[in-house]
């Protein structure tokens, strides 16, 4: 029986050094939301006049994923609801971006997301309860 005298390739014998992270546990994860389902995000982004990078930062904070195409249906619903609440609370682009920048520095992403959600709901409630300014008669 002839022996295989071909030397092993570098990839066969190389030792991997560094930090490894699991990419998949072998189980199929939830499917990403469709483009049609993601339209709700675009709708509220347009109504609120938010920049795409602000939406990506919001997705990273709320869902742990910046790429909207990778969000699941549930994550899309969560993000769209958060944007709707921000719009109803009359939260400006600058204020939302500032909050996201500050909260992104936190170690506990989920706690930061909860804090942002609570703040946005408070702003929306205040906006709903505040009567519109009356016009003066000329």
Instruction: Per residue of the chain (138 residues), give pLDDT as tens.
Output: 555 555 555 555 555 566 655 555 667 778 898 989 999 999 999 999 999 999 999 999 999 999 999 999 999 999 999 999 999 999 999 999 999 999 999 999 999 999 999 999 999 999 988 777 777 665
Could you give the CA distance from residue 122 to residue 117 in angstroms, rounded to a whole number?
A: 9
Give the Cα separation of 55 and 39 in Å (integer): 13
Q: Is the separation of the CB atoms in 89 and 44 below 8 Å?
A: no
d(CA 102, CA 117): 14
Alpha-carbon distance 90 to 93, whole Å? 9
pTM over 0.85: no
Closest CA to 55 of 111, 91, 100, 89: 100
């Amino acid at each position: 029986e002839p022996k295989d005298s071909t030397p092993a390739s570098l990839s066969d014998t190389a030792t991997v050094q560094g930090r490894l992270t699991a990419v998949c546990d072998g189980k199929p994860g939830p499917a990403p939301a469709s483009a049609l389902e993601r339209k709700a995000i675009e709708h509220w982004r347009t109504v609120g006049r938010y920049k795409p990078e602000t939406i990506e930062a919001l997705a990273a904070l709320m869902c742990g994923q910046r790429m909207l195409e990778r969000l699941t249906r549930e994550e899309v619903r969560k993000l769209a609801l958060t944007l709707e609440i921000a719009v109803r609370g009359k939260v400006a682009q600058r204020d939302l971006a500032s909050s996201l920048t500050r909260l992104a520095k936190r170690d506990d992403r989920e706690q930061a997301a909860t804090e942002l959600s609570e703040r946005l709901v408070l702003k929306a409630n205040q906006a709903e309860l505040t009567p519109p300014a009356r016009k003066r008669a000329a």
